[in-house]
Amino acid sequence: DSIVSLQLVSRIRAEGLPVAVRDLFQASTVAALAAVIDTRTPADDQQTAPRARVPFGGEAPVPFGGELPLLPTAHWLRELGGPIDRFNQSMLMITPGGLDEQTLARTLQAVVDHHDALRLRMDRNGGTWSLTIMPADAVDARGYLHRVDVAGMADGELRQRISAESDAAAARLGPDAGVMLQVVWFDAGPTTPGRLLAVVHHLAVDGVSWRVLLPDISAAWQAVTAGRQPELAPVGTSLRVWSHRLLGNAHERSRLAEIPWWTETLRHPNPTLASRGPDPRVDTAATRKSLTVSLPAVSTVPLLTTVPATFNARVDDVLLTGLATAVTAWRQRHGRGGDAPSLLVDLEGHGRQPVDDDIDLSRTVGWFTSIYPVRLDLTGIDPTEAHRGGPAAADALRRIRAQLRGVPDRGVGYGILRHLNAQTAPVLAGLAATARPEIQFNYLGRVDMLPAQDAAWDLAPEGDAVTSAFDPAMPVVYPIVIDAVTVAGADGPLFTATWTWAGALLDEPVVRELSDLWIEALRGLATLS
């Protein structure tokens, strides 16, 4: 997927080979990519290689630090309203035996110094947000580090302590004070591997960022323990350069040409699933409920491989086809908008598509996520037949694949136009308020960072004990949020999806019925290979 492409570019460039992100998408084979690289000279690489400080709009180069324009996701969070100080992502890692606090502090300092997002400070004067990158020498990572003695604790007691400390760490976050990071070291003794919990405010991190941060923590620790100064792999395009580029891109003719697509997508109201729309006063994160569903490897494998290959589709094309048929079937079954066989969904993407050739965000830490609407239209296709697989399911997949291929620039332009252009923002905001997607869908791809039992800096098996990703009073945006991922299982890859919903808007039996219909539809699609 595209996230894997970002990682691959970073690894290739680390070997000294001149490759840009666009090359991976333009070259259809490894041989074609090798041919492109082979014909490049070092001078060519200087022209095409991503650079951290590049001129913007003919002006002087943009420096690393200082104030930066808000990214679209930060504007989305600002408009959401409500408290956001505890809004975070976190990871729990295994620490090596023999780790000491001084070594850990130096390791963290190297990572904080290297990644600008970890030194962000927010200013919320009068409801107007701004973000500033603090200089590296202004941040002492030791202030972010808390040690907890867990020597001799049994598994159950350790999990309880991890849960309590994760909540306390989230409470210590303070974006207005520049506290974007909290680290808790669960010290299990001088020879026993412990645990390290990193809690980062969501303004400073996203899913791709963790694929950068975790290896960097390991690399910095190895250097410190060897008595060397950590030298982490360079960041291609800085967070501040990217934010300035997006601000300019919001007014470019090619981006403005997307407006008809987005207005047409949002032009028609969306038949409702919930009893009413979310009320920010009562529908908060504290009212959220969740349900996890999965597919066995026998169905997951074709969904990831042979089905997409047969239909020249992506995995998310297949997943969204199943979702569209499931919701349409539910509507027909319950007489809820069955005569309008289209589903408006907000999709979540990594948002790191380069708007210029010299952009490389494969090693840039920050919250780049893009959120954009798509309309999945199954007019003329019987969802009941599509659930069974066969010709109807194949027709549905072709239809949804074509609709998703039509989305401009994988959706990154919607947030740019919705939040960064003063002329287009109110138009799209008004349409979105009327159409109101009720489902947000996010497919994280195949995640290789899996819990281990004894490897230093791998993910810890107690990660499910970590809590408090949201402030309890944060408003709910969507009645339903679906987060899907593929992970390794004992019998092969396992597709898993978590449905989260606002408890006052939907009853659990409704969500279970929808999720069951979706799983049935995916099983039917898996038979097409």
Alpha-carbon torsion (78, 82, 83, 87), positive or negative: negative
Q: Name the pLDDT band for 43 (thresholds 50, 70, 90).
A: very low
Residue 445 has what pLDDT?
A: 86
Secondary structure class of 332 (helix, strand, coil): helix
Tell me, what amino acid is at 61?
P
**Distance separating alpha carbons of residues 45 and 50, to the nearest angstrom:** 9
Please give the average per-residue pLDDT across 339-353, as a whole number: 88
Please give the average per-residue pLDDT across 319-324, as a whole number: 96
Contacts of 157 (CB under 8 A, 6+ apart): none
Residue 373's DSSP bridge partners are: 346
Please give the average per-residue pLDDT across 98-113, as a whole number: 96
Please give the average per-residue pLDDT across 476-503, as a whole number: 91
Output 276 or 145, whichever has higher pLDDT.
145
Residue 28 has what pLDDT?
A: 52
Residue 271 has what pLDDT?
A: 83
The residue with tokens 């899996």 is 450
Q: Name the pLDDT band for 56 (thresholds 50, 70, 90).
A: very low
Q: Name the pLDDT band for 73 (thresholds 50, 70, 90).
A: very high
Sheet holding 145-149, edge to edge: 88-95, 194-201, 181-187, 145-149
**Distance separating alpha carbons of residues 422 and 166, to the nearest angstrom:** 39
Please give the average per-residue pLDDT across 237-247, as a whole number: 94
Q: Which two tokens stand for residue 322?
A: 């199943």
Residue 42 has what pLDDT?
A: 42
Residue 5 has what pLDDT?
A: 52
- Look over the chain and give the mean of its residue pLDDT values, rounded to a whole number: 87
What is the distance in angstroms between the CA of the first residue and the CA of the last residue of the chain? 20
pLDDT at 407 over 80: yes
pLDDT in tens, 260-310: 999 999 998 888 899 888 999 999 999 999 999 999 999 999 999 999 999
* Radius of gyration of the chain measured on its C-alpha atoms: 23
Q: Where are the alpha helices (DSSP H) in 436-505?
A: none
Contacts of 190 (CB under 8 A, 6+ apart): 97, 98
Contacts of 468 (CB under 8 A, 6+ apart): 86, 88, 166, 167, 170, 171
DSSP string, 87-156: -EEEEEEEEPTT--HHHHHHHHHHHHHH-GGGGEEEEEETTEEEEEEPPGGG--GGGGEEEEE-TT--HH
Secondary structure class of 67 (helix, strand, coil): strand
The residue with tokens 């569903």 is 293
Q: Which two tokens stand for residue 224?
A: 């410190």
